[in-house]
Structure 1
């Protein structure tokens, strides 16, 4: 009987269900100072990209140390993810913009795409997270 229970436990521990998750390792650099925090939205779908808080997979606030922020997210379901970040100097949770809507706070997108033609698409900013692996996102603020 004990052998049967042990066999079942091993079967569940080796189950592919646990392998449906990957990790995201996030590194954000080029902050203008250590003052304030980094605000970020992680999207797992194009819907709502890049501003909808309701459609974001995760909303996260990170501290800044020595001009950068780092965080590893575990148990990330396999799929495509894109990230938008900004340096929230006054820690009010909102990006400051000028009169024509251009951000005054430093900001960035995953994959560091060109901004020549406006806000980059979810597709340009996304990376695939694979089950059982770690995907590294490096974002330089502008």
Structure 2
């Protein structure tokens, strides 16, 4: 009887947790070639935005096919998320920069904000992920 009750409690808890989860659909466009991969950092808070690997909620690598990289990420807790991406031609996991620190590799941010005044804020790039729904992030590389 106790085992049945524990099993029922676990099932209810598990289904409640799954209801609080959403999905992120990533579409990265405007790649210069199918060489290399797209490196992605997903942040759920502004701390560490946009480059800190250890502060990112998730890091994802996506292959490129016909100039587009696509990935669906399930089981995302509800909240705000911002994404930064770059085209990693040599697949070393690091964005190449010139002598003054500007990226040589193509890069982009969620919501495709203007870069006129430098790196956009977490808030400018964030979108809400809601439980039971899919949030689409389409990012154009520059």
Q: Give the TM-score of the pair, scaled to structure 1.
A: 0.90
- Paired with 2:97 and 2:14, the residues of 1 have a C-alpha distance of 50
CA RMSD of aligned residues (A): 1.8
Structure 1 alignment gaps of length 5 or more: none
Number of the residue aligned with 2:111: 111
Q: Give the TM-score of the pair, scaled to structure 2.
A: 0.90
Number of the residue aligned with 1:69: 69
Number of the residue aligned with 1:100: 100
* Deviation, structure 1 residue 18: 1.9
Once the two structures are superposed, residues 67-126 of structure 1 have per-residue CA deviations (whole angstroms, 9 ceiling, x without a partner) of: 010000000000000000000011111111111111111000000000000000000000
Show structure 1 runs of 4+ deviating over 6 A.
none
Number of the residue aligned with 2:32: 32
1:1-142 equivalence runs, <5 A:
8=8, 12=12, 15-142=15-142
SS in 1 for 2:96: coil
Structure 2 alignment gaps of length 5 or more: none
Paired residue total: 137
